[in-house]
């Protein structure tokens, strides 16, 4: 199990605390320092069953600067969104937990983190 976190994020700290409390073995990836490649983002999206715009933090300054709210949310724009996430990792929703069974969840709630634990 791997968890992508920003240590400054309260949701990430909460998810890590819950994983620790459950005695879970996991690897931490500080994705702002160890930036995921476009291929890694595609793989996580496949595991999540989501599109890049579904995991984009559109209220971030970078998102506003890029005008992401105006970008089309369609298959033809998918690669543009993935490139933006790779170039501006702060835009990636967090925390993302990749489970051992090949799935993933965005662990913003205790329920989502427990869901990952049950996989």
Catalytic residue numbers? Answer: 9
Q: Is the pTM of this model over 0.95?
A: no
Structure tokens at 23: 């005695």
Per residue in 64-81, pLDDT tens?
999 999 999 999 999 999
Starting at the edge strand found earlier in the chain, the sheet holding 27-30 runs: 27-30, 2-5, 96-98, 104-106
Per residue in 48-58, pLDDT tens?
999 999 999 99
Give the whole-angstrom CA distance, residue 33 versus residue 104.
21
Evaluate whether 85 touches 91 at the Cβ level (below 8 Å): yes
Q: How confident is the model at residue 117 (pLDDT cuts 50, 70, 90)?
A: confident
Give the whole-angstrom CA distance, residue 60 versus residue 62.
5
Integer CA distances (angstroms), 4 to 7, 31, 70, 118, in order: 10, 6, 27, 18
**Mean per-residue pLDDT, 41-53:** 97
């Amino acid at each position: 199990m791997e968890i992508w976190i920003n240590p400054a994020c309260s949701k990430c700290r909460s998810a890590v605390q819950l994983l620790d409390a459950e005695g879970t073995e996991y690897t931490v990836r500080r994705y702002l320092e160890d930036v995921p490649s476009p291929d890694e983002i595609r793989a996580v999206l496949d595991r999540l069953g989501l599109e890049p715009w579904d995991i984009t933090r559109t209220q971030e300054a970078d998102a506003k600067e890029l005008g992401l709210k105006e970008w089309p949310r369609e298959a033809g724009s998918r690669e543009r969104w993935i490139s933006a996430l790779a170039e501006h990792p702060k835009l990636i929703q967090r925390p993302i937990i990749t489970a051992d069974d090949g799935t993933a969840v965005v662990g913003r709630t205790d329920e989502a983190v427990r869901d990952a634990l049950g996989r």
